[in-house]
């Protein structure tokens, strides 16, 4: 039987939605056969959906899982799915032996493979989230199995439904079902090949991203690197973790360096920073070029998360490592990161000197040229020359549009909007950001979308469009609230909502929200930029005028002590519903 569709789980997912899914309906039917007291509820619907998803919608696997509700709750069952071949046993005694357990079913399919198919099948288990044809050939080939053999065997495994082939752009991407992958990994370990394949897997990813980055440097089409990273994210995580354990620090560090600051494009700044820090700490002083590149990436991510002082420290280290290495391109990139960090701390002369030196190397790299021009625009804006900064950002926006860099275009447009806001053209800034949103919403860059929404919320408050500000801030919170990576963005959004409350005279709510936001932004060392500072200054002035010192002190203490969930509830559910009529 083919796999059954499993629904996406979103906020508000309940039993009435869940039961419409064929996979969940099958689970409920079999669970009731095993235990008449079982019921699908709003509380367990998401858990049951996750079980069905992790079992890839396989009817037999779902039936076997559902039969265990006699002794395991849905939550307990989900927690034990990593041991699925022990958990999923049972079934009716009058069915064929191969249908009585999930392991027996896959054993039966595996026994029908010839030796070459078994070798490739178990080796494909090293891929976490699918693979390309090139990846399969690079990782699964080897002795007695050349490229053409690997392609033929892959095609045979697809025909036998042990490998799924799914369209991805103008090519195909392949994957194993999760249960099948667990089985393949067991076979890989039994064959004593797991370490060998992990090394090959890392080498393949390192080569793939090195080639992608080389193309990006020549073309300036940075979105290609981001798209590749989004597709391979889980495999990159697996490879980086494994390289530290084996250890294979140099290869893992090289892969991490090729990815660079792309963590931010996926809203994973915190994870990217942690990984860079671990690898930097593990490398020896002799790896100066790799240390320079990783330190540059770390400085970029620190700046993106508002940790300006730490960013400058790390960027300074990046320049020192780069000078030790002596490669002009490495030095120029390190100077770019230093110039960016120095600009954000108003060290304008230092930033200008760094950019001028980097430009003087005349390195052939379209990506570097655009990155240097980006920092020039930021520096020009910070110096108060908004007209020149707007002109540079407009040039960047047009260039990225020609290159097809949606993310680069949105960043340039965002900086252009900030220029307009800084020189008092608030309505124009709002228009620029509203025009950006459709492209950002259709992409994968959650952090970029949250940043744009937060800026838009700030502009709308300034323009007295309070309902519009609430809508933008609310969307930003809903984008980032589920992850710790979004803590800063959530704090900024809540601060804008606090200003909305203060403007409407709700000073108690505003004071509590501001205290929470201020504490949330201080924890990672975030420093407000122009839009956030404008909101903060206006808000604190309103609170000083609207509350007595004792009231303000009490509410500040209460707000700072709020848990994230409580602060979000106050910001969204109560205030948003009352002001905007939103549910």
When pLDDT is cut at 50, 70 and 90, the band that residue 482 belongs to is low
When pLDDT is cut at 50, 70 and 90, the band that residue 470 belongs to is very high
Which string of DSSP letters, residue by residue, matches 442-490?
HSS-HHHHHHHHHHHHHHHHHTT-HHHHHHHHHHHHHHHTTSGGGHHHH
Give the integer Cα–Cα distance in Å for 540 and 547. 10
More confident residue, 308 or 527: 308
Residues 489-512: tens digit of each pLDDT: 899 999 999 999 999 999 999 999
Is it the case that residue 104 has pLDDT exceeding 60?
yes
Look at residue 552 in the predicted model and tell me its pLDDT. Answer: 95
Is it the case that residue 420 has pLDDT exceeding 50?
yes
Calculate mean pLDDT across residues 56-68: 81
DSSP state of 572: I
- Are the CB atoms for 57 and 4 separated by under 8 Å? yes
Is it the case that residue 574 has pLDDT exceeding 70?
no
Q: Report residue 261 as tokens.
A: 């600051």
Is it the case that residue 127 has pLDDT exceeding 60?
yes
When pLDDT is cut at 50, 70 and 90, the band that residue 395 belongs to is very high
DSSP state of 165: E
Task: Match 């392991």 to its residue by tokens.
Answer: 103
Q: Which residues have CB under 8 Å from 208's CB, separation 6+?
A: 134, 135, 228, 232
Is it the case that residue 20 has pLDDT exceeding 80?
yes
Is it the case that residue 583 has pLDDT exceeding 50?
no
Q: What is the pTM of this model?
A: 0.77
How many CA atoms lie within 13 Å of 253's alpha carbon, on the beta-carbon side? 23
Residues 129-143: tens digit of each pLDDT: 999 989 999 998 776
Cβ-defined contacts of 79-83 (< 8 Å, 24+): 81/51, 81/54, 81/55, 82/182
Which stretch of 124-128, 314-318, 401-405 has the lowest confidence by average pLDDT? 401-405
When pLDDT is cut at 50, 70 and 90, the band that residue 576 belongs to is very low
Is it the case that residue 2 has pLDDT exceeding 90?
no
φ, ψ (nearest 5 deg) of residue 172:
-120, 150
Look at residue 581 in the predicted model and tell me its pLDDT. Answer: 39
- Are the CB atoms for 226 and 265 separated by under 8 Å? yes
Calculate mean pLDDT across residues 68-97: 70
- The count of residues in the chain is 583
Calculate mean pLDDT across residues 363-390: 94
Classified by CATH at the fold level, domain 113-192 comes out as Arc Repressor Mutant, subunit A (1.10.10)
Which stretch of 299-313, 415-429, 477-491 has the lowest confidence by average pLDDT? 477-491
When pLDDT is cut at 50, 70 and 90, the band that residue 86 belongs to is low
Q: Which residues have CB under 8 Å from 9's CB, separation 6+?
A: 46, 49, 50
More confident residue, 332 or 68: 332
Which stretch of 28-42, 166-180, 541-555 has the lowest confidence by average pLDDT? 166-180
In CATH, the number for domain 198-383 is 1.25.40.10
Which string of DSSP letters, residue by residue, matches 268-311?
-HHHHHHHHHHHHHHS-TT-HHHHHHHHHHHHHHHHHTT-HHHH
Among residues 333, 406, 343, the alpha carbon closest in space to that of 372 is found at 333
Is it the case that residue 401 has pLDDT exceeding 70?
yes
Calculate mean pLDDT across residues 441-463: 88
- Are the CB atoms for 516 and 494 separated by under 8 Å? yes
Calculate mean pLDDT across residues 284-300: 96
Look at residue 143 in the predicted model and tell me its pLDDT. Answer: 66
Give the integer Cα–Cα distance in Å for 438 and 173. 27
Is residue 8 classed as helix, strand or coil in its secondary structure? coil
When pLDDT is cut at 50, 70 and 90, the band that residue 174 belongs to is very high
Cβ-defined contacts of 161-168 (< 8 Å, 24+): 162/109, 162/113, 162/121, 163/121, 163/124, 166/130, 168/231
Label residue 402 exposed, middle or buried (CB < 10 Å: 0-12, 13-18, 19+).
exposed
For the four alpha carbons of 33, 39, 45 and 48, in that order, the dihedral sign comes to negative
Is it the case that residue 169 has pLDDT exceeding 70?
yes
Look at residue 360 in the predicted model and tell me its pLDDT. Answer: 96
DSSP state of 6: -
Calculate mean pLDDT across residues 270-298: 96
Q: What percent of the chain has pLDDT over 90?
A: 61
Is it the case that residue 368 has pLDDT exceeding 60?
yes
């Amino acid at each position: 039987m083919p796999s059954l569709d499993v629904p996406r789980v979103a906020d508000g997912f309940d039993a009435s939605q869940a039961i419409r899914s064929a996979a969940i309906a099958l689970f409920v039917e079999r669970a009731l056969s095993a235990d008449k007291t079982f019921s699908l509820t709003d509380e367990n619907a998401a858990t049951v959906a996750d079980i069905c998803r992790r079992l890839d919608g396989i009817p037999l696997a779902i039936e076997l899982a559902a039969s265990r509700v006699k002794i395991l709750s849905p939550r307990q069952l989900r927690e034990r799915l990593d041991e699925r071949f022990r958990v999923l046993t049972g079934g009716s005694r009058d069915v064929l032996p191969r249908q009585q357990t999930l392991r027996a079913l896959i054993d039966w399919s595996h026994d029908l493979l010839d030796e070459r198919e078994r070798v490739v099948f178990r080796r494909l288990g090293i891929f976490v989230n699918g693979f390309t044809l090139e990846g399969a050939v690079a990782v699964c080939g080897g002795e007695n199995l050349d490229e053409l053999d690997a392609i033929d065997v892959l095609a045979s495994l697809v025909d036998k439904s042990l490998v799924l082939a799914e369209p991805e752009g103008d090519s195909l991407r392949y994957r194993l079902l999760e249960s099948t992958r667990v089985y393949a990994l067991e076979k890989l370990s039994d064959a004593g090949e797991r370490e060998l394949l992990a090394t090959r897997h890392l080498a393949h990813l390192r080569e793939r991203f090195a080639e992608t980055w080389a193309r990006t440097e020549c073309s300036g089409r940075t979105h290609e690197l981001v798209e590749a990273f989004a597709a391979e994210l889980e495999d990159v995580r697996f490879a980086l973790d494994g390289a530290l354990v084996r250890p294979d620090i140099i290869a893992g560090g090289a892969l991490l360096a090729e990815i660079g600051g792309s963590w931010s494009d996926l809203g994973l700044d915190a994870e990217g920073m942690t990984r860079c820090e671990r690898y930097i700490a593990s490398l020896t002083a002799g790896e100066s070029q790799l240390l320079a590149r990783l330190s540059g990436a770390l400085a970029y991510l620190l700046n993106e998360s508002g940790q300006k002082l730490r960013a400058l420290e790390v960027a300074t280290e990046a320049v020192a490592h780069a000078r030790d290495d002596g490669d002009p391109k490495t030095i120029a990139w390190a100077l770019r990161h230093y110039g960016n960090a120095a600009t954000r701390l108003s060290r304008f002369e230092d930033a200008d000197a760094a950019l001028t030196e980097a430009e003087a190397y005349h390195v052939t790299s379209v990506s570097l040229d655009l990155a240097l021009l980006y920092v020039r625009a930021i520096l020009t804006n910070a110096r108060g020359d908004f007209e020149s900064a707007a002109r540079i950002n407009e040039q960047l926006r047009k260039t990225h549009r020609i290159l097809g860099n949606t993310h680069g275009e949105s960043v340039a447009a965002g900086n252009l909007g900030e220029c307009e806001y800084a020189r008092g053209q608030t309505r124009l800034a709002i228009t620029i950001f509203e025009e950006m949103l459709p492209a950002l919403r259709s992409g994968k860059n959650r952090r970029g979308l949250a940043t744009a929404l937060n800026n838009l919320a700030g502009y709308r408050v300034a323009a007295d469009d309070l309902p519009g500000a609430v809508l933008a801030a609310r969307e930003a919170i809903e984008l980032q609230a589920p992850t710790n990576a979004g803590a800063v963005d959530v704090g900024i959004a809540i601060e804008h909502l606090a200003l909305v409350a203060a403007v409407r005279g709700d000073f108690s709510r505003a004071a509590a929200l501001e205290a929470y936001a201020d504490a949330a932004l201080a924890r990672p060392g975030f420093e407000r930029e122009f839009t956030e500072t404008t909101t903060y200054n206006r808000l604190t002035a309103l609170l000083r005028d609207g509350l007595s010192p004792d009231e303000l002190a009490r509410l500040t203490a209460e707000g700072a002590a709020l848990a994230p969930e409580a602060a979000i509830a106050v910001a969204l559910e109560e205030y948003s519903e009352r002001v905007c009529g939103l549910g």
